[in-house]
Amino acid sequence: MSSTIPIVEVEGVSKRFGQFVALNKVTARFEPRRLSAIIGPNGAGKSTFFNVLSGAFPPSEGRLKFKGRDITGLPQHGFARIGIAKSFQITNVFKQLSAHENVRVAVQMRKSRYELFKPRAAMAELGERADALLERVGLVALRERPAADLAHGQQRALEVAMALAAEPELLLMDEPTAGMSPEETVVMMDLITALAAERSVILVEHKMKLVMGICERLLVLHHGEFLAEGTPDEIRHNDDVKRVYLGQG
């Protein structure tokens, strides 16, 4: 993949719910192998934008491209197949299953979507892949622990491991540190930074100091419209951003 082709482009994307305009003609591009964030005050349209990027909401108008390919209107399940995975703000794991079982199910969905019966050797391979992903997110020591018994930050890390089972080129994360303690936040930020060295990562976050410290590029939305885009330093000194966002504390 050429570095000149953005991993994601949005061109004049709008999203309406009845008469309410949640996004209004937003145009932006995200470069490959970068850690980027979508930020803005409450009601800025961040979650709607995330849902458009992840395929949950088709845009009302405009185009969405992935690696130069127009994917506007692609069914949501198609996003995972082309290399886009997501981690939600609300933890989405099977609480009754162990950490290892959660990830193994995700791996099996990726490796053998249509095969119900697998030979023992193939099942062993799935288990090894699941353990490798648990190791990647720092949970392999808790592989037998039921997901319900994991701390909140550990459940979020488990969900990241499940998303990584899809082997995505782009990982979308919706407020990955929501509800976390300061200690859990540090662990998650370290994980996100490491993951971004291997693939493109786009966060939706409301914690300004957090994204300023780890992200390379920031997209700022306000009332559903594009406000600014740039490096953390550029955003920090942008008068419009200071007026509508930073000035709010």
Q: For residue 139, with 0-12 CB atoms within 10 Å meaning exposed, 13-18 middle and 19 or more buried, which class applies?
A: buried
1: confidence class by pLDDT, cuts 50, 70, 90:
very low
Specify the pLDDT at position 137.
95
Query: Hey, which bits of 72-123 come out as E strands?
Result: 84-87
Fold for the domain defined by 1-83+168-249? Rossmann fold (3.40.50)
Q: Please give the mean pLDDT across all residues of the chain.
A: 90
122: confidence class by pLDDT, cuts 50, 70, 90:
low
Specify the pLDDT at position 118.
56
Specify the pLDDT at position 91.
65
Query: Hey, which bits of 51-204 come out as E strands?
Result: 61-66, 69-70, 84-87, 170-174, 200-204
DSSP string, 154-176: HHHHHHHHHHHTT--SEEEEEST
Can you give the residue ranges of every domain in the chain?
1-83+168-249, 93-166
Considering the entire predicted model, what is its pTM? 0.89
Contact of 147 with 99, CB cutoff 8 Å:
yes
